[in-house]
Chain A
Amino acid sequence: MKLNQLTISQAIKGLKTKRLSSVDLTQACLDQIKKTNEYLNSFLTLNPQAIAEARTADRQIAASTKNFQKYPLLGIPYALKDNFLTTGLRTTASAKVLHDYIPQYDATVYSRLKKAGAVLLGKTNLDAWAHGSSTETSDYGTSRNPWNLNHTPGGSSGGSAAAVSAHQSIFAIGSETAGSIRGPACWCGVTGFKPTYGRVSRYGVIAMASSTDSPGPITKDVYDSALVTQVIAGHDPFDATSSPLPVDINPSKLSRYKKLKGIKIALPKEYLVKEMGKPTSQLIKQAVKKLQSLGADIDQVSLLDPHYSIGVYTIIQRSEVSSNLARYDGIRYGHPRTAFKHEAKNRVMLGAFTLSTGYYDQYYNKAQQVRTLVINQFNQLFKKYHLLIGPISPGPALKVGASQDNPMFGELVDMLAEPSSIAGLTGLSLPCGFVNHLPIGLQITGPQFAEQKVLEVGHIYQQNTDFQQFPDTNYGSI
């Protein structure tokens, strides 16, 4: 096994026992990026300090392996979605408006990872401003799915998901407004975790929809997601919407139960949407059987049709985008508004419309009322059930070009993530099989702040299945 193929926990073990160094690990990732990035277009910018940071980590490890208690991700290389601000390192949100923007401060997620000893490899591609679900709206070209280069990796955190799937990075950070972590994680066949809204600080993340934006990890297994979330979660005085509740995420306790006895799980029948193909629905049914065989108690339930959430999400997202993108005037930083491309124009204009006098009640307020209905239903559901499960995407990764001329592509692809996102819930996407050699994802979703429970159940499922696989990345020889 090559070093870049390790999970975080395997790498930490190697670093602790001095079988490998952070420089070796970082170099292995950089080599893989060099070999595969021309095919995947997952990285936009590399961190010129990566090896120097790895060297510093190696010195700390040499000083004492006890430093891992203080720096839980010491020496672990990772990739950061390019909408997280990094002082001195270009941050574009994949938009030419910010083509030469060099931040003067760090996003809280980045500063926490730095403090934890992680080594930044570089910044990954996304849909421009995170507007999309395929990376096809990126001003820097589409990223490709490591499983099949003719397909998209999903989005908006497509570069991050592709980087982890193709072993360019040990883990990556994404951000999700509705499906932007879990969707690409699903399509690239890796594990994606969306924490509760407010569990992870949004400070220094280029804002998309402020009432749902949630940063989170994309990793090679559930355990690693817990490790990373534990580091990045927690109250941040710089983000007034971050939660003051104590962080209840403990990776070492993920294995405390071997079975799912006593765990009650709901399977909403409306989530088996008409857009879903039969092979995908078969895989979800198999996952249900697997969880049942592990002791979970699963009932089919009825929730609001997720098609309603498409409407709610579209209105809220467009409205908040129109407000958030108003700040780009090209005066203090960035380029003038003439540099905005089609998708941003599409969203900003529609958002301005749904917020405008005379239409506010009909659209924006109506959406916020239906949001309440969705939340109320979840509250009722979680009185009786610990978690809910279902597909996270109606099918496997779509071909590059699928989003063209479809102004609601993202919303349709993400419809199964949208209800949980507009309610601010926490959820996991993890591989549950393959259709046409492309991965399919299972969502495990819990009430707000139930991160540990979601991760525990995901971990047990993953320990008892063999779907977390990785593609052959010898693209040059194919």
Chain B
Amino acid sequence: MAINVKHLAKLVQMSVTPKEEKKLAAGFKQILKTISLLNQLNTSKVSSTFQVTGLENIFRPDKIDKKRVLTQKQALSNAKKTHQGYFVVPAIFK
């Protein structure tokens, strides 16, 4: 089965050159072949495991932990573009 690399790149917001597209497609083919080994195993009556230590429904108190709250200055400190205390994001509408 062939994977549409261009379409996937668009979905994950990544850019690929035509040369890269070719390399990725060849790699995906190889990987899918290796993982197809799993089809040898019958799992029709096996449930899935998503969490291995069996923890379920972990909650925390619905309270603000002030020690962990970043100041506005801290929160913005790594942003490339800010404006009057806000993050500047790329425009979505034209």
Contact = CB atoms under 8 A, between A and B. Distances in A.
A345 B16 contact: yes
Interface residues of B, number: 49
Contacts of A243: 53, 55
Contacts of A326: 12
Contacts of A308: 37-38, 40-41
Contacts of B38: 308, 311-312, 366-367, 370
A401 interface: no
Given A197-B52, A307-B37, A448-B53, A349 B43 contact: no
Contacts of A345: 9, 14, 16, 20, 24
B31 A368 contact: no
A333 B79 contact: yes
A97 B75 CA distance: 18
B60 A338 contact: no
A126 B50 CA distance: 27
Interface residues of A, number: 59
A78 B20 CA distance: 39
Given A198-B55, A349-B3, 16 more contacts: A104-B70, A196-B53, A240-B55, A331-B89, A332-B79, A332-B87, A333-B79, A334-B78, A338-B15, A349-B12, A350-B28, A350-B31, A373-B41, A408-B30, A423-B52, A448-B52
A105 B78 contact: no
Contacts of B60: 237, 240
Given A237-B60, A331-B87, A350-B28, A363 B12 contact: no
Interface string A318-354: 0000100010001111110110101001101110110
A372 B55 contact: no
A102 B76 CA distance: 11
A365 B16 contact: no
A407 interface: yes
A237 B68 CA distance: 12
A101 B77 CA distance: 9
B51 interface: yes
Interface of B: 3, 5, 8-9, 11-16, 20, 23-24, 27-28, 30-31, 34-41, 43, 46-53, 55, 58, 60, 68, 70, 74-75, 77-80, 87-90
A369 interface: yes
16 contacts: A102-B77, A104-B70, A104-B74, A197-B53, A211-B52, A212-B52, A241-B58, A331-B79, A333-B78, A349-B3, A349-B5, A349-B8, A371-B48, A372-B48, A373-B46, A424-B52
A370 B27 contact: no
Contacts of A348: 12, 14
B51 A342 contact: no
Contacts of B11: 352
Contacts of A334: 78
B50 A315 contact: no
A281 interface: no
B31 A408 contact: yes
A365 B34 CA distance: 17
Interface of A: 100-102, 104-105, 196-198, 211-212, 237-238, 240-241, 243, 307-308, 310-312, 314-315, 322, 326, 330-335, 337-338, 340, 342, 345-346, 348-350, 352-353, 363, 365-373, 375, 407-408, 411, 422-424, 448
Contacts of B46: 369-370, 372-373
B92 to A, nearest CB: 12
A368 B49 contact: yes
B35 A352 contact: no
B51 A372 contact: no
A212 B50 CA distance: 10
A102 B78 contact: yes
A240 B12 CA distance: 27
Nearest to B61: A237
A241 B51 CA distance: 9
Contacts of B28: 349-350, 353, 407
Name which of B15, B60, B80, B88 has the most chain A CB atoms within 10 A of its CB.
B80
Contact of B12 (A238, A314, A322): A322
A368 B48 CA distance: 5
Nearest to B89: A331
Name which of A322, A326, A332, A335 has the most chain B CB atoms within 10 A of its CB.
A332
Nearest to A424: B52
B55 A241 contact: yes
A365 to B, nearest CB: 6
A353 B8 contact: yes
A128 to B, nearest CB: 14
A340 to B, nearest CB: 6
Nearest to A313: B35
A314 B35 CA distance: 8
Contacts of B14: 337-338, 340, 345, 348-349
B9 A349 contact: yes
A366 B48 CA distance: 8
Contacts of A102: 77-78
Contact of A330 (B16, B31, B50, B80): B80
Contacts of B31: 314, 350, 407-408
A284 to B, nearest CB: 24
A211 B78 contact: no
